[in-house]
């Protein structure tokens, strides 16, 4: 296993980590209420962000808020993912024996983070779709007329954003790196 090949793999893992960081910092979903403005409600991986322009209409999203433990637990999850990717850069030729299979620890960590990130994004969209019933029974993506009060009819436009799509790209990129680990790095060194 040459150091050059290891460096190539590590650079690819770092590139995937940067995409993952970008996806984490960008919003995943937005709701634009035409009478109030764009991005009035946004969903980030760690929770809901409500613009002050929503004002007294926050009552409409009362049932859509997340429990107080959600944001810290999501930040812990993200931190653990970053630590796992960092560790994957440092381990050298450490095969783990699972029955008759040998798998490189780096490959296991990178693939595990990739799969978990894809699963987290899919669960987020499923959960969001269920919780949107409390927000004017709004679709995940689309346009819906809503009544904000007496004689005030407007439209809510919702959409998934770049941050959400980057989660899938980062997860698939990490998964592909794990699957191609042997081709990129070479044979496992059992020592």
Residue 51 inside a domain? The answer is: yes
Domain assignment present for residue 58? The answer is yes
Q: Is the pLDDT of residue 11 over 60?
A: yes
**Tens-place pLDDT, residues 57-78:** 555 555 566 788 989 999 999 9
Residue 160 lies in domain: 3-185
Q: Is residue 93 one of the residues assigned to a domain? A: yes
pTM of this prediction? 0.84
Query: Within a 10 A sphere around the Cβ of 107, how many other Cβ atoms?
Result: 23
190 within domain boundaries:
no
Number of domains in the chain: 1
For 24, counting Cβ atoms within 10 Å of its Cβ (0-12 exposed, 13-18 middle, 19+ buried), the class is buried
pLDDT of residue 191: 46
146 domain-assigned: yes
């Amino acid at each position: 296993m040459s150091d050059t090949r290891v460096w190539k793999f590590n650079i690819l893992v770092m590139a995937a980590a940067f995409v993952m960081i970008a996806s984490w910092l960008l919003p995943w979903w937005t709701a634009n209420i035409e009478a109030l403005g764009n991005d009035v409600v946004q969903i980030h991986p760690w929770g809901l962000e409500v613009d002050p322009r929503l004002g007294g209409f926050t009552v409409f999203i009362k049932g859509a808020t997340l429990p107080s433990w959600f944001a810290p637990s999501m930040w812990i999850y993200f931190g653990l993912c970053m630590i796992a990717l960092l560790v994957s850069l440092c381990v050298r030729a450490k095969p783990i024996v699972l029955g008759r299979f040998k798998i490189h620890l780096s490959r296991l960590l990178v693939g595990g983070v990739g799969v978990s990130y894809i699963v987290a994004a899919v669960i987020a969209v499923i959960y969001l779709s269920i919780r949107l019933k409390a927000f004017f029974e709004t679709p995940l993506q689309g346009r819906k007329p809503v009544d904000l009060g007496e004689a005030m009819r407007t439209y809510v436009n919702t959409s998934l954003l770049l941050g959400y799509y980057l989660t899938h790209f980062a997860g698939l990129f990490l998964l592909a790196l794990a699957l191609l680990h042997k081709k990129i790095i070479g044979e496992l060194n059992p020592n």
